[in-house]
Structure 1
Amino acid sequence: LKTGLGYTLKGVGDNSQMIKSLGINIGSIKILGLMISNGLIALSGSLMAQFLGFSDVNMGIGTLVLGIASIIIGITLFKKFTFIKDTTAIIVGSFIYQFTIYFAMSLGMLSTDLKLITAIVIIAFLATGNLNISLKKNKYKASTKNKSEKRGVIDVTN
């Protein structure tokens, strides 16, 4: 990605409006990026099928769930910390997700129970992210109420 096209591809990913203002068709650049990524995915799938000697439709489902769960857990935990990059947060999220699976297996749970445990963990992290947003709204209301009382304005509606 050290060529002009590579820098354009990175630019579309970072700030597509700027690249569009330069007169470059961002749609074709996005399609090129998708073509490259899908080609690499196809190559990895074919290498895995060659290595294992067979192919199955459900081979990549666990990887997809792991990726999405890692993103949810990592971003939810570290969204307040601006010094931690998203990539680092996702890697830590994958460790936490794998640890929950290890912990559930060490308790002797069945594979169907593992799916339930991972679903509960993901829902818990999603709910935690939503709780933080609602708590911030309540703190904002409380802080504006205190500021208005300090200025001599009393809220008589409550």
Structure 2
Amino acid sequence: MRPHVELIDEKDLIWHPAELVGAVGDARQRNLSYDEEDGSVSAKIEFTSDWSRPAGVHNAQTEWYVLEGEVTIGDTVLKPGGYWCTPAGVVAPALKVKKGTEILYFREYGDWQFEVTDQDKDFVREDQKLVIANTADMDWIDVVDGSPMRFDLGG
């Protein structure tokens, strides 16, 4: 489990090369939190050149949320508010990212390893699949104090 982190100022965080392997292009990341035990990370990533990576499988559940710029995953173009998530072992389509794009990046229960592939992998559970969403197109659910929020990305 990650330790509790107090409020931070992003300017106090150090930039270092992004932990995105198998790609052509340059990106850097600021870690918001990092679990030394299992490799989980929350980070802000900035793409300092056009960037691309072929389809493949992550070692960890991986999520991207587009803050600025443009990410193309497979045939889908994501702009600010765009989101995608792939569980560990599920094929993520090829990616193309425009220079200057910024994302929030989340990797859970695993490290940065990535295997290039064009074939589907066996799923751990039948419900594990790639999720792509444009949050700007989703209905807003007003949350009242004390009520649980139900978040369904569809599929």
Bigger share in strand: 2
* Same topology, TM > 0.5: no
Bigger share in helix: 1
Higher relative contact order (CA 8 A, sep 6+): 2
**TM-score, normalised to structure 2's length?**
0.24
**TM-score, normalised to structure 1's length?**
0.24
Higher-Rg member (1/2): 1
